[in-house]
Amino acid sequence: MAEAGLQQRIALVLEYDGTGFSGWQRQDHAPSVQEELERALSRIADHPVAVVCAGRTDAGVHAAAQVVHVDTTASRPLHAWVLGTNSQLPETVSVRTAHAVEADFHARYGARRRGYRYVFLCRRARPALLRHRVAWTHHPLDAGRMHRAAQALVGEHDFSAFRAVACQAPHAVREGFRIDVHRHGDLLFIDIEANAFVHHMVRNIAGTLMAVGAGEQAESWPAELLAAGDRTRSGVTAPAAGLYLTRVVYPSHHGLPDGGHWPFLA
Q: Which positions are catalytic?
A: 58
Region of residue 55 (left: phi > 0; alpha: psi -120 to 50; beta: else): beta
CB contact at 8 A, 71 and 30: no
> CB under 8 Å to 42, separation ≥6 — which residues?
48, 49
| Cβ count within 10 A of residue 1 | 10
CB burial string 26-52: b at 16+ within 10 A, e below: beeeebbbbbbbbebbbebbeeebebb
- Helix or strand holding residue 208 (H, E): helix 201-213
Q: Residue 196 in 3-state DSSP? A: coil
**Rounded to an integer, what distance in angstroms lies between the CA atom of residue 260 and that of residue 99?**
15
**Rounded to an integer, what distance in angstroms lies between the CA atom of residue 166 and that of residue 169?**
9
